[in-house]
Amino acid sequence: MKENRITERLFNGLIKENPTFVLTLGMCPTLAVTTSAMNGLGMGLTTMVVLALSNLIISLLRKFIPNRVRIPAFIVIVASFVTMVQLLLQAYLPSLNSALGVYIPLIVVNCIILGRAESYAYHNPPLPSLFDGIGMGLGFSVALTLIGAVREILGAGEIFGFHIMPKGYTNINIFVLAPGAFFVLAVLTAVQNYIKKKAAAKGRDVSKVGSGCSEDCLNCGDTGCSRRFYDADGSTENPNLGNNLKQADTETGKPEQADAERADTETGKPEQTDAEQAGTETEAGEEGLKDE
Amino acid sequence: MNNITNIRDLFILLVGSSLVSNVVLSQFLGLCPFLGVSKKIKTAAGMGAAVIFVITLASAVAGVIYKYILVPFNITFLQTIVFILVIAALVQFVEMFLKKLIPSLYEALGVYLPLITTNCAVLGVALTNVQKNYGIGTGIVNGFATAVGFTIAIVILAGIREKMEYNDIPESFKGMPSVLLTAGLMAIAFCGFSGLL
């Protein structure tokens, strides 16, 4: 697949660099709003709209935004879109708005958005940036919906509000409460670790897996959440740019093969895991593939 | 206005914001530093102190701006933009201020300050204060209590992680998964506080 093509960008966001399952970015909303599949979907789509539009505008303005004040500029653009989306939700989907509550304005500080602005939209033309945003947003929506579905099925025996579990099933209430979110994510990252190790043993490139900074904030440079507001000495400018160029290089360096391999690892999931909860997660993963 | 009138309300707000609805374990705000800076008790405590400092200051500034600028000019719908810009600028200003004037404090907190710039807990507290109609004073107390809750949680997690480091954990659960499981168990324990109020 050619670099920067629309389909490539969509595929990249959905599977190859899925923000939740692969990069592990944006954990706060992932845990907070996935009490049901519907809330997860709503949050995912809201984030997608903001992400796509802000990517588009940042990309259009990339030649006019001075490097040193790019972070404040990104924040203003993202916050404007978040405010618009929030007002629209208040007007047309008040129930979703009240279910998501304070997490809607908090989309501003979602590392996925600043991360994509910093590492993609600021260096690429508008159309690919728009579709990069849509792809990443779709990946995030699918991930949140799946996690929400797992929690809703285990915790309430329902999915999208429809009762599906057999009569004898006792709801495990804890899964819709706060601790359940941590447990689901723990199993998810364990599955991710497992797949990463398998793939690394076969000599595949796994540098992207879990590269969001959720493990080590102090050494996190790529994703933009630890950037200084005003880059007074321009110190982050050059290494960062170099980093992006390097990334772009490796991306063009590995064409279809890598994509096919990622797909392999995704479908290879079910046979390899045996733990019960891990099984649920991978089923969810399969659904994700079918959805496409 | 939902303001504190006596010492009893103050205490209830303090306990409620720090323990019962703990910012990390029940509201999932500030999760990145919670997971990312909790390897050692010392760094966790430093991060906690920086968060207490910044959140208390930010809720004061955001409260003043909301009451004296946004409300009189009837532009409260701009709160998200204004708050995030003010907080991000404030954090950097504090960093420069400490570096110049109080180097000892900068040594202790400086490395953590940039991490707080876009920390969702800070913005979350400012927005919650507005949503719940807290006045400036109540907002500051709420911010302080929330940040204390964050510090309690991160220091406990760091303590557990230090103990867990040499334990025999299944290969796939090493690192983040075991930390998340620990956080989940802590969240269950913190659910117990809901009986307090």
pLDDT grade, residue B148 (50/70/90)? very high
Range with lowest mean pLDDT among B18-22, B118-122, B132-136: B118-122
What is the enclosing helix (H) or strand (E) of A266? helix A256-272
pLDDT grade, residue B168 (50/70/90)? confident
This complex has an ipTM of 0.87
**What sign does the dihedral B66-B71-B72-B75 (CA atoms) show?**
positive
Inter-residue contact A219 to B115 (CB < 8 Å) = no
Instruction: Say yes or no: B76 contacts chain A, CB-CB below 8 A.
Output: no
Cα A114 from Cα B9, distance rounded (Å)? 39
Q: Which residues of chain A have a CB within 8 Å of the CB of B79? A: 105
Say how many CB pairs under 8 Å bridge A and B.
159
Count of CA atoms in the C-beta half-sphere (13 A) of B98:
20
Nearest-Cα distance to chain A for B171, in Å, is: 8
What is the enclosing helix (H) or strand (E) of A159? strand A158-159
Nearest-Cα distance to chain B for A194, in Å, is: 5
Q: Which residues of chain A have a CB within 8 Å of the CB of B127? A: 102, 105-106
* End-to-end Cα distance, chain B: 21
DSSP string, B108-124: HHGGGHHHHTT-HHHHH
Question: Is the model's pLDDT at A196 over the cut of 90?
Answer: no
Question: Is the model's pLDDT at B114 over the cut of 50?
Answer: yes
Inter-residue contact B49 to B174 (CB < 8 Å) = no
Quote the DSSP letter at residue A174: G
Nearest CA in chain A to B91: A229
DSSP string, A77-124: HHHHHHHHHHHHHHHH-HHHHHHHGGGTGGGGG-HHHHHHHHHTGGGS
Instruction: Say yes or no: A174 contacts chain B, CB-CB below 8 A.
Output: yes
Token pair belonging to B44: 């966790």
A206 φ/ψ angles, rounded to the nearest 5 degrees:
-115, 15
Nearest-Cα distance to chain B for A189, in Å, is: 6
Token pair belonging to A89: 């939700």
Mean per-residue pLDDT for A88-98? 92
Predicted TM-score of the model (pTM): 0.80
Q: How far is C-alpha A91 from the chain's CA centre?
A: 27
Nearest-Cα distance to chain B for A105, in Å, is: 6
Nearest to A225 among B32, B84, B187 (CB): B32
pLDDT tens digit sequence for A240-289: 333 333 333 333 333 334 444 444 444 444 444 344 444 444 444 444 44
Token pair belonging to B25: 């374990």
Mean per-residue pLDDT for A14-19? 83
